[in-house]
Amino acid sequence: MPVETPLIEFRDVTKRFGDQTVLDQVNLKIYENQITTIMAKAVRAKSVLLKHFIGLLSPDAGTIFFLGRPLDKMRRREWDRYRSQISYLFQNNALFDSMTVFDNIALPLRQTTNLSRKEIEQKVMARIEQTELTEAADKYPSQLSGGMQKRVAWHDLS
Ligand SMILES: Nc1ncnc2c1ncn2[C@@H]1O[C@H](COP(=O)(O)OP(=O)(O)O)[C@@H](O)[C@H]1O
Ligand SMILES: [Mg+2]
């Protein structure tokens, strides 16, 4: 059987903050169609690792590959295509407190597409209904249960 190219690969990835080395020559392969769990004690750089996947952080040494392509060699268009295939859910949901459920879900569409107001409303309401959040559409995150907040946070329609 041919050796499969990993979806994501870390090769000797090192990350430092000041004189603290938080990732020390990390090697990691993640394959398509598998569920991979990253486990470590608190403050052992799990979040730092994940932030490298999406370019929020970049390594001080080593290379990260997506299907064999080094992330740091990708130009804008390829990078955007790569990023558009990734979804993530924040530990604390990362919702905007001052915005309703509807507006939280609509935000990425308003910011990153040229869809009309009406088209955005249709898409957002369809998702809201699909995830049984209809009653909550006009509520603020603090008025929701934890499970409802998670469902709002999961939406990324962009
Ligand atoms: N932007 C940053 N600047 C400086 N230090 C950071 C930064 N982000 C994370 N760290 C440090 O990296 C270490 C790992 O943090 P983190 O990845 O959040 O841990 P975990 O997710 O495993 O609990 C911690 O010591 C944290 O203080
Ligand atoms: Mg963390």
User: Is residue 14 domain-shared with residue 70, that is, in the same domain?
Assistant: yes
Q: How many helices (H) and strands (E) does the chain have?
A: 5, 4
CA 134–ligand 1 middle distance (angstroms): 37
Q: Is 48 close to ligand 1, i.e. is its CB under 6 Å away? A: yes
Cβ(103)–Cβ(115) below 8 Å: no
Radius of gyration of the chain, Cα coordinates, nearest whole angstrom = 19
On whether the CB atoms of residues 136 and 104 are closer than 8 A, the answer is no
| Consecutive H or E run containing 30 | strand 20-30
- Shared domain check, 30 and 69: yes
| 64 inside domain | yes
The alpha carbon dihedral of 28, 33, 37, 43 has a sign of positive
**At 54, which CATH number?**
3.40.50.300
- Cα 157 to the chain's mean position, in Å? 12
Domain housing 28? 8-74
Asked whether residue 53 is domain-assigned, the answer is: yes
pLDDT tens string 100-113: 999 999 999 999 89
Instruction: Tell me which residue has its CA closest to atom 1 in ligand 1.
Output: 17
Q: Are residues 18 and 56 in the same domain?
A: yes
| pLDDT of amino acid 158 | 58
The answer on 24 and 70 residing in a single domain is yes
The bound ligand whose nearest atom lies closest to the alpha carbon of 46 is: 1
70 with 105, same domain: the answer is no
Question: Cα(104)–Cα(110) distance, rounded to whole angstroms?
Answer: 10
Q: Whose atoms come closest to the Cα of 20: which ligand?
A: 1
Q: Is residue 43 part of a domain?
A: yes
Cβ contact 30:8 at 8 Å: yes
Could you tell which of 20, 43, 92 is best to mutate to test the pocket of ligand 1, judged by most ligand atoms within 8 Å of the CB?
Answer: 43
Q: What is the pLDDT of residues 51-103, one digit of tens each?
A: 999 999 999 999 999 999 999 999 999 999 999 888 877 777 889 999 999 99
Q: Based on the structure, what is the number of domains in the chain? A: 2
What percentage of the chain has pLDDT greater than the value 90? 86
19 and 70, same domain (yes or no): yes
- Does residue 1 have a pLDDT over 90? no
Neighbours of ion ligand 2 (CB under 5 A): 46-47
Tell me whether residue 113 is in a domain: yes
